[in-house]
Amino acid sequence: MGFKILAFSSHTGDIEITAGGTMLRNAEEGGRCLILHMFKPSGKWARPPGVSVEEYAETRVKQALEAARKLNAEVDFLGCVEGVPYDAEEVKLKMYRSLSEFKPDAVLMHWKGSYHPDHLACHLLAIQAFERFTGEQRAEGKRSMPVGLYYPENWEDPQGFQPEVYVDVSSVFEKYLDVIKTYDFTSGKYSGFNYVDYYSCLKRIRGLEVGFQYAEAFMTFGDWGVKRIRRRSLLGE
């Protein structure tokens, strides 16, 4: 049985690349996933030669919509644009309202130990929205089980990251690769980093650590220690 997963992503591609396998597994099991991208692409960064800023910004949005379609996920944007000032309180309120309306069983967001300021900004706002939401849920006695918070493993968010929950994505690995290749920057041809090769190897390594062919690793909310929890799905056994 699937679950309701709400995923906060700083940029288009962030959450699909790090947790796409888990979202695919969840969708196959009848679950729902909502992806909320904080920033719409500006088109200024790592675009192909000869493509204008405006053209590439539009292309990246189209790629995000196509990636969500392949994941069988819902997707929306929180109204920010890369490199443009935004109202943090307004974004946080949108995050909170999304949590309240979608009522997820699990929430995914960036880990705070990031080299990327946009990832950290997304984490700080999302964690405040999450704590407000879960606090109100507890106070009103609306849930018998707490909402799970998980940080997907991201090469730009490595500081202090400790893999704790390993989700088996072996059965959907080829579909996962197709999803992330929807984004043209993942090949590394002009972005300078080969996401496809890196995450293919990373998910194989995480799988080897716990006896799966391929696995996605997550860190859990709160204090952590060294533990390796094997799961067939994010909230399942």
Euclidean distance between CA atoms 151 and 119, whole angstroms: 12
> Could you say which architecture CATH assigns to the domain 4-231?
3-Layer(aba) Sandwich (3.40)
**Average per-residue pLDDT in the chain?**
93
Q: What pLDDT, in 10s, does the model give residues 22-33?
A: 999 999 999 999
Q: What pLDDT, in 10s, does the model give residues 165-219?
A: 999 999 999 999 999 999 999 999 988 999 999 999 999 999 999 999 999 999 9
**Whole-number pLDDT of residue 237:** 63
- What percent of the chain is modeled with pLDDT above 90? 83
Residue 2 pLDDT exceeds 90 = no
Residue 144 pLDDT exceeds 60 = no
Predicted TM-score (pTM) of this structure: 0.91
